Amino acid sequence: MSSPGLQWSSLGLLTFCLLLCVGSPESCDEGEEFQCQEDGSCIPFENWCNTKPDCPLASDESFISCKTHPSDMMADKFQCANGAPIPERLVCNDIVDCSDGSDELPQVCNDNPDEMRQRFRGNCTGDSDLECLPGECVADSAKCNGVIDCSNGRDESLEICMQSCDKNKCFQCSNGVLVDSKHLCDNEMHCLDGSDELLTVCGNAKNWTEVPPAECYETSELLFTNRTVFQMKDSRRFVYANQPAEVQCWNSDRRSWNVCMNNGSWHHEFPPCHEKLINRNPDTNGTNGCPINWYNNETMIIWDENDNSVMPPIQDSRVTFKCEDGLTFLPYEFKDDPITCLPNNTWIEKDFHPRCTKLCSPDAITEMYSLTPRCYNGENGTPFNCKDKYSLIPETRVKFECASGFTHRTSEPMMVKCTEEGRWEGLRDLCEREEKLCNYECNHRLNYSEITFSKGGDPTDSLRASWLVPIYRWNSTTAKHEFACTGNLIRLDIVLTAAHCIKANGSQKEDFLVGPTGNRSDLTIDREHLHKVRHLDVYGAYSEVTHTYDVGIIFLEKRMDFRQDQRIVCLPYSDGSQLSSSGDAMVTSWNSDGYLTTVYGRLSELRNGDLNVELNDDYRLCKGDSGSGVITTCGLDNHKCLVAVISRNVGSGDHGTFCSNNVTAASLKPLPLQDHIQQIIRNNVNCPEVE
Ligand SMILES: *[C@@H]1O[C@H](CO)[C@@H](O)[C@H](O)[C@H]1NC(C)=O
Ligand SMILES: *[C@@H]1O[C@H](CO)[C@@H](O)[C@H](O)[C@H]1NC(C)=O
Ligand SMILES: *[C@@H]1O[C@H](CO)[C@@H](O)[C@H](O)[C@H]1NC(C)=O
Ligand SMILES: *[C@@H]1O[C@H](CO)[C@@H](O)[C@H](O)[C@H]1NC(C)=O
Ligand SMILES: *[C@@H]1O[C@H](CO)[C@@H](O)[C@H](O)[C@H]1NC(C)=O
Ligand SMILES: *[C@@H]1O[C@H](CO)[C@@H](O)[C@H](O)[C@H]1NC(C)=O
Ligand SMILES: *[C@@H]1O[C@H](CO)[C@@H](O)[C@H](O)[C@H]1NC(C)=O
Ligand SMILES: *[C@@H]1O[C@H](CO)[C@@H](O)[C@H](O)[C@H]1NC(C)=O
Ligand SMILES: *[C@@H]1O[C@H](CO)[C@@H](O)[C@H](O)[C@H]1NC(C)=O
Ligand SMILES: *[C@@H]1O[C@H](CO)[C@@H](O)[C@H](O)[C@H]1NC(C)=O
Ligand SMILES: *[C@@H]1O[C@H](CO)[C@@H](O)[C@H](O)[C@H]1NC(C)=O
Ligand SMILES: *[C@@H]1O[C@H](CO)[C@@H](O)[C@H](O)[C@H]1NC(C)=O
């Protein structure tokens, strides 16, 4: 797959690109423009490090992009702590010129030192010389000693630590602390913010290895408050090393400060964001009656045997529970069934914990094409099957992994949580970033060469062609779904096939079902394993008369479930390789018994985006093989990929009623078609709506 996001193969490269790849193809003018990391927008070079923010979040003025080596500093300029140069005459003129304010700090301007001390001290008394936050005090010795003591890092901040440097003879960390030049670019960080080892500082240094600047990211549980000054990359917010962040729990007002460390960890652990329903009714804890730990008089009604509503304590009786509309009673087995409270104040059923609750949707977590969910009872809880919908209660955590056929692009945890409102917190965000989290792995472990079966021969292992899916179409004469065509999974929820398969006779999406991968069976189609269609796309250039450009795409309502060793098929544009329109090719599809078989032949190019496949020996393709992928080798490693889909018999305009050993296939070679497929894949992200 190709997309702007995927062209950067790593965060490191992204940062590198920020500085050196300006002018990459789809972006900014080489040598003329600086590219903002927050949104990729371009600004003229002269606005870069000119002390005025031009990028949306001021990344053009960040120390990451402005810090320079002392040998590159201009002797007649004042260097702001973040590295931007300003004319000397602007220093201490009572107007803040540096975007970090360093030109007007009292340490630089020798303003009343007592007043400054007093301000740092705040309400702290005794030996405490610095007030980090109201009520949080640290000793004088904690200031600017290279160790973060304040929960918000104030003791190592620019405000406290600014030192003046004469005539740019020294190197200054972006928090103002001076560092001996001999420590620069020695592959060890001496600045808490890592300024002494930045690419902009050390790019020319010998024996220096770049380590990308540390970034600490916001998570869906811990959100940055509006007091946090953050940066942004790929729509995610973060702060750089030695920068403070105030976060707020997603589910409460609880806030806390933290500081990003130069190894990318937070300085200290965040206090947990707990959310528990508080049941204040003392008669529900099992002392005076049977325990009802989740009792809530607003949402749970208890009926006795005479159909009277009763309140806890429940003693020595048989009762039935009812929940307010929209809530589900758990344990689900006892919904509507009376249960006995024994005289010794215990429920007759062991582990009976009555509860009225919202549930989170199992569909929402299983619909993403590249992410596979694993469900856990709460944080560090035991795992359970995500399809068990009555287990998806609030506090459920879902950890995602890249699905089979994908590889992880990041090591960051991918987790969502079920809220009290029955919503998956963080799911939409995860879904929208899907493309950046997992990479297609279409061409690995496809042992295609081991398939040696032909039509009428032995059935082959469906794993080896696991991208093939049968397409069934409703036949109003027989009032049944019947096998119509073959499709190729190019994403777990997207099937590439022939246009005539889905356009015939004004078919609608409701007429189609797509089978699971593997053997197909007309006789007993297990509905549970068939997929409904969300959308049909017929390539615009397709002609219903000549059947040229016979390419169609089916979007499934739900993605296919894949086993670990199954793969989708590679498309040629995935690796940007030139397509060969001649040479050996193979086509796999189902024989009349429903088993997968492969035939071999030779490709040649025809007019109008068509390829000709002339089959070897006695091989033949028949009706129903329409849409099957024509497989050849692609890329430098000669992996198998799909270059065309079977369209029709040579000479017969009736889209393949008969078998033939000479067939026409719609080529994927035309660039507009490749673009169309990529575009439509990218635009079809089926993320859950925010409620
Ligand atoms: C600091 O002291 C002032 C005056 O004594 C007081 O008004 C203010 O509430 C105090 N702040 C804190 C956070 O204790
Ligand atoms: C480069 O660094 C390594 C390890 O820090 C050191 O052993 C080596 O001598 C250095 N080489 C030069 C040319 O400075
Ligand atoms: C942050 O938001 C709160 C309430 O939403 C507002 O009162 C406050 O002024 C904001 N602070 C800043 C620094 O924007
Ligand atoms: C980062 O550094 C801190 C303190 O130096 C240390 O406690 C923490 O374990 C480090 N984290 C990683 C991921 O190395
Ligand atoms: C239940 O509540 C009663 C009354 O508040 C209290 O005395 C008792 O200790 C509680 N029992 C438990 C098991 O929490
Ligand atoms: C639930 O209990 C609260 C406090 O005990 C009371 O104010 C409220 O009216 C009760 N609601 C219902 C529906 O009984
Ligand atoms: C309560 O009574 C039942 C039946 O009489 C008995 O099986 C159970 O063990 C008792 N539970 C406790 C906690 O005493
Ligand atoms: C693919 O073939 C190779 C070499 O023949 C073998 O080692 C590997 O296990 C096979 N993989 C699968 C998934 O069958
Ligand atoms: C529907 O079924 C009838 C009877 O088997 C068959 O003649 C007809 O060709 C089928 N229609 C399609 C579109 O396959
Ligand atoms: C299209 O529909 C007409 C009548 O609805 C039917 O006679 C014809 O056989 C159908 N053609 C195909 C190719 O299914
Ligand atoms: C397909 O059929 C063959 C032959 O009966 C069998 O060995 C294979 O396991 C089947 N594959 C699937 C996915 O059912
Ligand atoms: C197969 O069809 C192509 C294109 O129509 C034609 O050029 C070729 O001669 C045919 N081959 C055979 C063996 O009929």
Q: What counts of helices (H) and strands (E) characterise the chain?
A: 11, 39
Q: Which ligand is nearest to the Cα of residue 466, counting in written order? A: 11
Kindly state if the Cβ of 227 falls inside 6 Å of ligand 3: yes
Cα(475) to centroid(ligand 10), Å:
10
Quote the tokens at residue 213.
């600047």
- Model confidence at 276, pLDDT cuts 50, 70, 90, reads low
Cα–ligand 4 centroid distance for 265 (angstroms): 6
Whether omega for the bond prior to residue 313 falls within 30 degrees of 0, making it cis, is: yes
- By most ligand atoms within 8 Å of CB, the mutation choice from 444, 445, 565 for ligand 8 is 445
Least confidently predicted of 106-115, 245-254, 438-447, 650-659: 650-659
Q: Would the CB of 476 count as within 6 Å of ligand 10?
A: no
Give the DSSP letter string of 286-311: SSSSS--TT--TTTEEEEETTS-EE-
* pLDDT tens-place string over residues 538-556: 999 999 888 899 999 999 9
Q: Looking at the CA of residue 280, tell me the nearest atom of ligand 6.
A: 5
* Ligand 4: residue whose CA is nearest its atom 6: 265
Q: Is 447's C-beta closer than 6 angstroms to any atom of ligand 8?
A: yes
Given pLDDT bands bounded at 50, 70 and 90, which one contains residue 21? Answer: very low
pLDDT at 452: 37
Residue 204 in contact with residue 105, Cβ under 8 Å?
Answer: no
As a dihedral over the C-alpha atoms of residue 70, residue 75, residue 77, residue 78, rounded to 10 degrees, the angle is 50
pLDDT at 184: 93
Nearest by Cα to 321 from 287, 276, 313, 331? 331
Q: Rounded to an integer, what distance in angstroms lies between the CA atom of residue 71 and that of residue 205?
A: 11
Q: Is the pLDDT of residue 534 over 60?
A: yes
Contact 185, 196 (CB under 8 A): yes
pLDDT bracket for residue 463 (50, 70, 90): low
Highest-pLDDT range among 27-41, 333-347, 524-538: 333-347
Using the mean position of ligand 10's atoms as its centre, give its distance from the Cα of residue 505 in Å: 6
CA 649 – ligand 12 centroid, Å? 10
Average pLDDT, the chain: 84
Q: What angle do CA 327, 333, 336 make, to 5 degrees?
A: 65
Q: 9 falls in which pLDDT band (50, 70, 90)?
A: very low
Q: Give residue-wise pLDDT tens across range 77-106.
A: 899 999 999 999 999 999 999 999 999 999
Least confident of 122-131, 352-361, 454-463: 454-463
The number of C-alpha atoms within 13 Å of 12 and in the hemisphere containing its C-beta is: 5
Supply the pTM of this predicted model: 0.52
- Span from the CA of 272 to the centroid of ligand 4 (angstroms): 20
> What digits encode the pLDDT tens for the residues 298-350?
889 999 988 889 999 999 999 999 999 889 999 999 988 999 999 999 999 98
- Is the distance from the beta carbon of residue 251 to the nearest atom of ligand 12 less than 6 Å? no
Decide: helix, strand or coil at residue 427: helix
Asked whether 265 lines ligand 4 (CB < 6 A), one says yes
Amino acid letter for position 180: D
Order across the sheet with 383-384: list the strands.
383-384, 371-376, 397-402, 415-418, 424-425
Residues 426 and 417 sit within 8 Å (Cβ to Cβ): yes
Q: List the domain boundaries for the chain.
A: 10-105+162-202, 215-259, 371-440
Q: What is the biggest distance separating any 2 CA atoms in the chain, rounded to whole angstroms?
A: 98
229 lines ligand 3 (CB under 6 A): no
